Amino acid sequence: MLNNGTISGTAGTAVSEELSVQTRGESFAGKLLLFIITVLMCVGIAIVYSSGAGWAENKYSSPEYFLWRQLAFSVLGILTVMFVAQIDYHVFWKTSKILLFASILLLTLLLVLKAVHIISGAARWIGFGPMKFQVSDFAKYALIFHFSRLISEKQSYIRDLNNSYYPLLTLLITVVTLVALEPNFSTASLIAIVGFMLMFIGGIRIRHLLATFSLLIPIAVVYAKSAPYRQARLISFFSGDEKSLNYQVAQALLGLGNGGLLGLGIGASKQRELYLPLSYNDFVFVVIGEEYGFIGAVIVIALFIGFFICGLIIAKHAADNFGKYVASGITIAITLFAFINIAVACHLIPTTGVALPFISYGGTALIFNSLGAGILLSISRHKKRIQARSALPAQGIVT
């Protein structure tokens, strides 16, 4: 009994020491990630107030309308991050199938409501009054969770076409098609990219992915040209003629040009005053560049690069494959949406409606991205929880 106790105690100590070494870098990445998220949310509060005051005064007769709502969303977002960080992320393994099924059901319901004319225009939101949320945000995370579970379960035969790739591809195409039919081509495209990136990281054969891309790209091109407004955006972007730029892009470039190196100063944006549509949402980066200049814009970009690096570190040192894939998917999704938004504002890609994570006005995206950030922190802290549990039996036996 004594020998067994000694061996157990030694083994427990060895495990504890090994985990302690492994978690140092990951712990720092988690802390830095939390700092970055907090800074981005603070930037969001300031910029949304600055960029949305004129619009709020004009539409809601209160310049602080967007400010108080964004502040409330940000506080709720931080609470979400802290709460989810304490949860064992494996709960999303157990519920991934239910979550994905629910998201597909809700996306289908939106299209049915649109077909019977209960919803007019784009069918993206569900709920009542202030309790509405964008279903595509929910579907994006549900897909990441279930893809991570399936890829983890199928690792022994991940390169098999029929038993691995086709089931994953079917789920991805189902979600992407439903989102595209809302219509929401930009979000559908980004969800597709996240799904394909997860399959690539998980070990799916590259030739299978490339073959699928070769088939889907022409379909995506035809779909992009099927609506006049999407076709106009493409023509405006590829024409190369400044006179053919659409109004949003022209105003965005003026705003970024006005900022110069150091910016016009806090609250001094000229484009926000009813010249630049959605200056507090899709084109919020323009106001950042105009008020804080090139330096301010670069700092924001650096924060998202820092987020990406921290996420990759957490994914690399995750305790299991599920944590690795979930962390990779969340990191790719948030960073991808951020840089697409920035690229649109800088006229590097055609105009599309994608919010800037943690900064743009809106509750749904902020809360879901906070959920994602909380899960990243949960993954980064999981080894510490294992370390704490492994230390307790050893201490009890020694005593």
The lowest-confidence range among 8-22, 198-212, 222-236, 244-258 is: 8-22
- With both helix axes pointing from N to C terminus, report the angle between 2-60 and 65-85 in degrees, rounded to the nearest 10: 170
Give residue-wise pLDDT tens across range 131-174: 778 899 999 999 999 999 999 999 999 999 999 999 999 999 99
**pLDDT value, residue 302:** 97
Q: How far apart are CA 153 and CA 353, in angstroms?
A: 35
Query: Does residue 24 register a pLDDT over 70?
Result: no
- For residue 49, the tally of other CB atoms under 10 A from its CB is 22
Give residue-wise pLDDT tens across range 8-18: 455 455 445 55
Tokens representing 359 are 């900064």
- For residue 150, the tally of other CB atoms under 10 A from its CB is 22
Reported as half-sphere exposure (CB side, CA atoms, 13 A), residue 245 has a value of 18
C-beta separation of 378 from 88 below 8 A: yes
Dihedral angle of Cα 272, 278, 281, 286, to the nearest 10 degrees: -50
List Cβ neighbours of 16 (8 Å cut-off, separation of 6 or more): 387, 390, 391, 394
Tokens representing 243 are 């006179």
The pTM for the full model equals 0.89
- Burial of residue 383 (CB within 10 Å: 0-12, 13-18, 19+) is buried
**pLDDT value, residue 6:** 40
Q: How far apart are CA 286 and CA 202, in angstroms?
A: 36
Give residue-wise pLDDT tens across range 248-277: 778 888 888 888 998 888 888 887 766 777
pLDDT band at 21 (very low <50, low <70, confident <90, very high): low
**pLDDT value, residue 41:** 97
Write down the H helix ranges in the chain: 2-60, 65-85, 91-115, 135-153, 166-180, 185-202, 206-226, 228-238, 247-259, 284-316, 321-345, 363-398
**pLDDT value, residue 396:** 44
Query: Does residue 89 register a pLDDT over 50?
Result: yes
**Could you tell me which of 175, 192, 173 has the C-alpha nearest to residue 135?**
175
